């Protein structure tokens, strides 16, 4: 793209781009409410339907497994042709599945509805990551704000579930559809803003690709993906069982568990913004690698330190696991500059979905031994992520230098 054209895009679309990032972040929050809601609903399924740890974690698996498989497929689809309409539609599907999950009298129906929600979430992330990267013009902090929206949705979901289901029981779950309705409406003006920006510069269908001639680095992308998977196992394991663990560790009952989930998700929100800021000062690979190394100690504190002090380690572990969150997305897109939809779908979605595959194994081990014993293997996960990122190169950005205006919504 000629320099004059690129400069005119940056100067003519600064305010709209800020609005787009803000709206996309809010929409991301409305979608990721339903990822957090799966773990938040597990204690209520256990209480009302007498599920075991293993059976309850199977619900997490239902949402995660289909989402893990579907997200790369949706990513490949959006690499062929942009599908912005997926954002409002997938938001509604994600919310509808969770809203119906409390009404299914049988375990099979519950799994089905949660799986439907997982497919909706899977369809949302690849295209939203592509659109957010276009709107941010490669700004690390801008992308961290977009990711922050999802993390806030995670953080809000336990409180939302407790408010709706805690007081009214699982039969009140249809009220959980409200964030999806709001998110599907709010993403529409963001899509119009991004579309106008693309039309103003006569950009190709995937403008990020017009700014780079770099080849795809599949080897580095594969190593990054392995690190993301290990990170996903650690976070999903904690989010699924932390409420039970902290309730047992403190002796304060279910309220302690809900508080632990809120701390876990809010810590992630702080870590996401911190990661974007740190990446403006150091290269992304270094920030990610050091964060994972420090997170090993934090996860060990969560599992091994008893009592209220555990909340501090929950916050530190969550922040450490989320510092790499948005950075991994932009790294993946820069490793695969010609397949940004696939890269975004695997990293942005896989980080919160594939870890669910390990949840039933943790549940089985907890049933056979104790919950604390079952959580000990999670300490190794950030260490494995650190190993995966060792020696990874810092890729050239697939998108031109960000404008100052794009750094925050």
pLDDT of residue 200: 59
Closest of 179, 225, 134 to residue 37, by C-alpha: 179
Residue 401 lies in a domain: no
pLDDT grade, residue 76 (50/70/90)? confident
Q: Express each pLDDT in 121-139 by its tens digit.
A: 888 888 888 888 777 766 6
CATH of the domain at 340: 1.20.1250.20
Most confidently modeled of 4-13, 109-118, 353-362? 109-118
- Output 245 or 197, whichever has higher pLDDT: 245
Closest of 96, 375, 126, 409 to residue 249, by C-alpha: 375
Domain assignment of residue 196, given as a range: 10-395
> How many domains does the chain divide into?
1
pTM over cut 0.85: no
Mean model confidence pLDDT for the chain = 81
Q: Express each pLDDT in 385-402 by its tens digit.
A: 999 999 899 987 655 444
Q: Express each pLDDT in 28-47 by its tens digit.
A: 999 989 987 887 888 888 88
pLDDT grade, residue 189 (50/70/90)? confident
Residue 129 lies in a domain: yes
pLDDT of residue 333: 85
Residue 400 lies in a domain: no
Q: What is the DSSP string of 74-92?
A: HHHHHHHS--TTHHHHHHH
Residue 247 lies in a domain: yes
Rounded Cα–Cα distance for residues 59 and 106 (Å): 12
Q: Collapse the DSSP code of 165 into the 3-class scheme (helix H, G, I; strand E, B; otherwise coil) and give the result.
A: helix
Residue 5 lies in a domain: no
Most confidently modeled of 10-14, 20-24, 123-127, 292-296? 292-296
Q: 325 Cβ partners below 8 Å, 6+ apart?
A: 144, 147, 151, 268, 271, 272, 275, 351
Residue 291 lies in a domain: yes
Residue 307 lies in a domain: yes
User: C-alpha distances in angstroms, 312 versus 111, 173, 235, 267, 268?
Assistant: 34, 31, 16, 10, 13
Closest of 346, 355, 328 to residue 70, by C-alpha: 346
Residue 165 lies in a domain: yes
pLDDT grade, residue 213 (50/70/90)? low
């Amino acid at each position: 793209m000629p320099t004059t054209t690129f400069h005119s895009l940056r100067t003519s679309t600064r305010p709209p781009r800020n609005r787009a990032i803000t709206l996309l972040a809010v929409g991301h929050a409305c979608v990721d409410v339903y990822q957090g809601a799966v773990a938040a609903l597990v204690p209520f399924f256990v209480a009302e339907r007498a599920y075991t740890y293993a059976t309850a974690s199977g619900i997490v698996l239902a949402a995660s497994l289909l989402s893990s498989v579907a997200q790369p497929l949706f990513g490949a689809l959006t690499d062929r042709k942009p599908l912005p309409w997926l954002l409002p539609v997938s938001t509604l599907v994600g919310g509808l599945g969770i809203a119906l999950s409390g009404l299914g009298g049988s375990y099979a129906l519950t799994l089905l509805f949660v799986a439907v929600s997982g497919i909706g979430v899977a369809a949302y992330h690849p295209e939203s990551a592509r659109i957010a990267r276009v709107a941010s013009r490669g700004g690390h902090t801008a992308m961290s704000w977009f990711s922050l929206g999802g993390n806030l949705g995670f953080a809000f979901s336990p409180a939302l579930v407790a408010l709706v289901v805690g007081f009214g029981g699982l039969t009140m779950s249809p009220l959980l559809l409200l964030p999806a309705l709001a998110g599907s409406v709010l993403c529409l003006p963001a899509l119009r803003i991004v579309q106008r920006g693309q039309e103003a510069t006569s950009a190709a269908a995937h403008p990020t690709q017009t700014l780079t001639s770099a080849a795809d680095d599949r080897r580095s992308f594969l190593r990054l993906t392995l690190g993301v998977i290990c990170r996903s196992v650690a976070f999903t394991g904690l989010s699924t069982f932390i409420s039970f663990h902290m309730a047992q560790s403190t002796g304060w009952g279910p309220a302690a568990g809900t508080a632990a989930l809120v701390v876990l998700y809010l810590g992630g929100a702080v870590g996401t913004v911190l990661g974007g800021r740190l990446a403006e000062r150091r290269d992304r690979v270094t920030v990610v690698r050091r964060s994972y190394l420090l997170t090993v100690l934090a996860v060990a504190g969560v599992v091994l330190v008893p009592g209220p002090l555990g909340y501090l380690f929950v916050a530190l572990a969550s922040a450490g696991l989320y510092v790499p969150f948005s950075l991994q997305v932009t790294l993946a897109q820069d490793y695969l500059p010609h397949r940004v939809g696939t890269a975004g779908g695997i990293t942005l979605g896989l980080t919160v979905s594939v870890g669910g595959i390990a949840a039933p194994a943790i549940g089985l081990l907890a049933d056979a031994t104790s919950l604390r014993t079952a959580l000990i293997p999670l300490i190794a996960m950030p260490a494995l992520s650190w190993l995966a990122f060792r020696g990874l190169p810092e890729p050239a950005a697939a998108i031109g230098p960000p404008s100052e205006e794009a750094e925050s919504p």
